[in-house]
Amino acid sequence: MVISKSAIKRWIEAAQSILSAIITVMIIEPKVPKRIAVAAYPGSKEAAELASDIASHLAKRGLNTIHASLYDEVLRSQVSDGDFDLLVALGGDGTMLRAGHLCAPPKVPILGINMGGLGFLIEVAQEDWMSVIERVLTGDFWLQERMMLRAEHRSRGRVVAAWDVLNECTIGRGEMVRPVRLLAEIDGHYLTTYVADALIVATPTGSTAYALAAGGPILPPELRNILLVPVAPHLSVDRAIVLHEGSWVRVIVRTTHQATVCVDGQVPMPLRDRDQVDVRASEHTVHFVRIYEPDYFYRNLTSRMKQNPTAGVDG
């Protein structure tokens, strides 16, 4: 199906109007940061060098700062303990996801600077870092809330693993190219049985990630909804479903071969027949530092939809 440019324009204008109404009641009063951690994507020498430059700039301003890889244990421990009130994350969308996992429990806001490609979660370009930092240090910014999900893998009556999820939890097949049967329940009531490669349970943030590639809708990132999107369903329900944040989802795996659960692109975990994955809204929320107008997401959406410069690039 080909969508005309005029139709896309009308859709964006309508979405901007709705988003503006949502934003008016969701903007959080910002607090000027005094203690700032700078974390770089570990696979990028350029990100590490920029992290050092930003930390030096902050130190000259007399601010308490640290800079290191996002996976550095000292940095992670100090952020988790609430020793900093802002994390500057240098990388791509993957870095923002990992930063969200780290910063949500201690409620540390995240300022992303794009060192990757597409950057759905990041609005600040690499070359603009100094001017943006200066705006943040004067309190000229706002905080955007992004909901998370809580996913639990249960096997034989016990919880095997649990995660807080910013993008999506995907339950599906493993390496063998055979669909799995996934019994889906909502609030304890049977919904349907998917025969598919996978079922994606996503946040509005994740609606522009794997769920979008699987044909799901794009949701305003400030919404608090749970999105179900099947991947390559075979003779079963093929429509996405949007749930209220108060709902909970249970997915029961029925398979005679390999199945997996994967959270936010991390290493998949194996699932056995009759294992289940329970997903509901998390108690944690990610806070992103924003400096541009609240409609930035839609202003940049069409250009991002027309290209995929991150193909084959991590971050």
Helix, strand, or coil (residue 283): strand
Tokens coding 68: 């290191």
DSSP state of 30: P
**Spatial separation of the C-alpha atoms in residues 94 and 41, rounded to whole Å:** 9
DSSP H helices, 81-222, are 93-103, 129-137, 210-213
**Spatial separation of the C-alpha atoms in residues 295 and 23, rounded to whole Å:** 9
Contacts of 84 (CB under 8 A, 6+ apart): 33, 35, 36, 37, 64, 66, 78, 108
**Spatial separation of the C-alpha atoms in residues 248 and 163, rounded to whole Å:** 15
DSSP state of 287: E
Q: Are the CB atoms for 119 and 113 separated by under 8 Å?
A: no
Residues with active-site annotation: 93
Tokens coding 209: 């990630």
DSSP state of 214: T
Closest to 40 in 3D by CA, of 4, 76, 84: 76
